Amino acid sequence: MSFPFNLYLLAVVSACLTTLAALPLWRRWCLRTGLVDDPGHRKIHAHPVPLAGGLAVMTGLVLPAAGGVLLLAVMQQTGFRAATAALVPIGYGLSRRSTELAVIFAGALGMLFLGWLDDKHELRPRAKFAGQVLVAALVAAGGVRITLFVPSILFSYVVTILWMLTVINAFNFMDNMNGLCAGLGAIGAWYFAAIAAVDGQYLVALIAFLTLGALLGFLPYNFPNARAFLGDAGSHLVGYLLAVLAILPHFYSSRMPRPWAVLAPLLILALPLADMAWVVVWRWRAGRPFYVGDTNHLSHRLVRWGLSPTRAVLLIWLAATAVGALAVFSRL
């Protein structure tokens, strides 16, 4: 039974529309509760901006996903045979991967909550890092792990936690200009979705398409002019989702016996990872803590070289799209 690919379009559209509808509600809530980014050091905005992006993106993920599962259950109970026959792959996948999916969404909520605490109370770096490690370890314990051909549970746990911490903080670092973090997240989600869909990994593709749609729904509020920011809640959520999407697909399999295909996630996420590596090395050489922000990111340097912030972001998006395309070619 072939998979109904129009469901991927439905996932993107439903997540996008849900995020678009939820953002005004979350903006008002953030303004009412004081969850805003105030103007100040290294800030270019003149007025407080609601940190509503992460909450809206999470809403755009959870509501369509929950609605889809509920609709599938109702259709199976009421006997819509033609429809349910087309959805057999999803039902089969949900029955086998229900615990893993629950862990993934629980981890997303955990990262969102950790980022919200940082937005609200400005956590100390050690406390925030400890929270990231805790959530990543719990997700790994739930079965979302990297193996890299090494038959060791300890290695699997360690490399998975390190990977999640790296990608989460890479996207956190990239949240320094309007649209940059969300746009790179959307580009990465698209490539992971396309690879999973072509390989017949339907649940992975659906999660990636939901992520893509939710981020596309947020971008009109954030780029080029920001009426809402992701905040640490949003950047933690985006980084976590992309880290998980890099783990879930089977980049190496009997159908795709090319060991170098496991490099696809590094290509898809090359821009955020390279930017983080650059600023960490620069801060280390300057004798500064690596977690203290500055204006030495790629986006800032492009602006100093004469580009407007909007054009700098667009150029980075274009570069990420081009490099990510190499991941697709690596699987041909």
289-326: per-residue pLDDT in tens? Answer: 888 888 899 999 999 999 999 999 999 999 999 999 98
Q: Is the pLDDT of residue 90 over 80?
A: no
Q: What is the pLDDT of residues 145-186, one digit of tens each?
A: 887 777 789 999 999 999 999 999 999 999 999 999 999 999
Burial zone of 275 (CB within 10 Å; 0-12 exposed, 13-18 middle, 19+ buried)? buried
Whether the per-residue pLDDT at 262 is higher than 80: the answer is no
**What are 36's strand-pairing partners?**
50
pLDDT for the residue numbered 3: 63
Rounded to the nearest 5°, which phi and psi values hold at 10?
Answer: -60, -40
pLDDT digits (tens, 9 = 90+) for 130-149: 999 999 999 999 988 887 77
Residue 50's SS3 state is strand
How far apart are alpha carbons 13 and 120 in whole angstroms?
31
What pLDDT does residue 256 have?
Answer: 54
Distance CA 273, CA 249 (A): 19
* DSSP single-letter state for residue 49: E
- Asked if 30 and 180 count as a contact pair (C-beta separation under 8 A), the reply is no
Q: What is the dihedral of CA 286, 292, 296, 298, to 10 degrees?
A: 130
Residue 1 banded pLDDT, cuts 50, 70, 90: very low
| 13 within 8 A of 28, measured Cβ to Cβ | no
Encoding tokens for residue 312? 């700098």
pLDDT at 247 over 60: yes
- Rounded to the nearest 10 degrees, the angle between the axes of helix 270-285 and helix 153-174 is 80
Is residue 68 very low, low, confident or very high in pLDDT (cuts 50, 70, 90)? confident
CA R_g for the chain: 20
CB contact at 8 A, 238 and 171: yes
pLDDT score at 329: 78
Q: What pLDDT sits at residue 261?
A: 63
Task: Let me know: does 100 contact 142? Beta carbons within 8 Å.
Answer: yes
Q: Please say whether the beta carbons of 133 and 123 come within 8 A.
A: no
Q: Where are the extended beta strands (E) located within the chain?
A: 36-37, 49-50
State the average pLDDT for the chain: 88
Residue carrying the six token digits 């925030």 = 128
